[in-house]
Structure 1
Amino acid sequence: MTHVVLENCIRCKYTDCVEVCPVDCFYEGETMLAIHPDECIDCGVCVPECPAEAIVPDSEPFDPVWLDINRQYASQWPNITQKKTPAVDADAMNGAPGKYGQFFSPEPGTGD
Structure 2
Amino acid sequence: MPFVVTENCIKCKYTDCVEVCPVDCFHEGPNFLVIDPDECIDCTLCEPECPIGAIYAEDDVPAGQEGFVALNAELSKEWPVITTRKDPPADAAEWEGKPDKLPLLER
Q: Is the TM value for this pair above 0.5? A: yes
User: 2:75 matched to 1:70?
Assistant: no
CA root-mean-square deviation: 0.8
For structure 1, list consecutive stretches of 5 or more residues without a partner in the other structure. Answer: 107-112
After TM superposition, list the pairs within 5 Å mapping 1:18-97 onto structure 2.
Answer: 18-62=18-62, 63-97=65-99
- Rounded to whole Å, the distance in 1 between the matches of 2:72 and 2:32 is 10
Q: What SS is found at the alignment partner of 1:59?
A: helix
- Percent identity between matched residues is 50
What does residue 14 of structure 1 align with? 14
- Rounded to whole Å, the distance in 2 between the matches of 1:67 and 1:99 is 16
| TM-score normalised by L of structure 1 | 0.91
Amino acid at match of 1:93: W
Amino acid at match of 2:89: A
| TM-score normalised by L of structure 2 | 0.95
- Of 10-19 and 88-97, deviating more is 88-97
Amino acid at match of 2:75: Y
- Rounded to whole Å, the distance in 2 between the matches of 1:61 and 1:75 is 21
For structure 2, list consecutive stretches of 5 or more residues without a partner in the other structure. Answer: none
- Rounded to whole Å, the distance in 2 between the matches of 1:32 and 1:61 is 17
CA contact (8 A) 2:4 2:61 kept: no
Deviation at 1:52, TM superposition (A): 1.2
